[in-house]
Each structure stands twice: as C-alpha cells, then as structure tokens.
Structure 1
C-alpha cells in the first residue's frame, strides 16, 4: 500500500460464472460426461474490468488458462492476477480500499446475426 500515491497492490482470484446457450449437451450421448475443460481462448467470455485498477499483472500465460464447461451450459472462469488499485484512502482504525468492477456484456439476441 502506498498512502502517498493512494494505491494498493493485491493479488486476487475472481470466479465468474455464466450460462452459454451454445455450450450444452446431453451427458447420455457423451458417456455420462457432465463437465469438460476448454482453453479460454476458444470460448466467448464476458469482459470484466476492475475500474479502479491502474495496472494488472496476470499470473498465468493465456495458453495456460482453461474454463470449466458443464453440460447445462454453465461456464466457470477463474481469473488470477495482481492488481494495482487506486484507492481513496479512508483512514479510521484501518485503511479501507474498495475496488469497483464493471462488466461489459450484451444480451444473447444482440450477439446473434
């Protein structure tokens, strides 16, 4: 934490979960398989931004990142990173830093041709 610059550095894991209507299957047709892992680069992912972050250091290379995809279309993503976050330092008994998050997604119908 740098109080003069009002920044805090923290490592975090964010777990995002959403439903993708195009990634569904019947487990009976695939030997009972209910979950698979797919490289992140091959699947649509929502854009999530830490809006108060001024720097992000990823801990894994893009080719090492996988999503869990479940038969019902549920997709789970884990994001591991180190963030440098701008903080409006509120000092009382402890310093408080509250990151803000934005998600940029589009409804399913707007993504279809």
Structure 2
C-alpha cells in the first residue's frame, strides 16, 4: 500500500522535464527492475542548487522518489544534496512498501 504522499508525487510529479543548459546532469539505473532516472541541476555561483528537474523511466514508486528527491535538494549546497539519502527520500514520502524500497536508491 502506498502513502498519500507517494500517490501525490506519482500522480502530480514535481520538477519533471529536461533543463536547458544545466550545470550538471546525472543518470542512474537500477538493474533489479530496469528503472532509470536522469536528474538535471542548475547550480548558482555559491554552489547552491537553484533548480532540479528529472526524467524517470520506471514504476510509480520510481517516479515518486525522483520527484521527492528534486524537492529535497533544491536550495541546498552540493555537499548538502550529496548527503540526502534514500532513507530521507522514503521518510519524506511517508515510507514505501518493502518491495519498492530499491526505487529510492535512484535518488541516492
């Protein structure tokens, strides 16, 4: 069973799309289920993430965790963003079913 937050971030994902002229782009995949996430970051001159966008190919939990991850890193420094764990993403979503925990690893 998914939490209301997971369902909200799946049905209405935040920050979806590509970014023109990003400061950085990262792509990760999960061999377990084939999910792939690409994240785009716009970072200011002080190393603070101004904007984050994502494109995810995967299940609803993968989309929801990608959406929440972009929300969690915006406004953080690069170092602070690197410290955001999959556990933090899951907690922000009020949890994931055990069989979907691997989806949160995309955000780490």
TM-score band, normalised by shorter chain: under 0.3
Larger Rg: 1
Q: TM-score, normalised by structure 2?
A: 0.28
For CA contacts below 8 A with separation 6 or more, give which structure has more relative contact order.
1
| Structure holding more helix per residue | 2
Normalising by structure 1, what TM-score?
0.27
Give the structure with the higher percent strand: 1
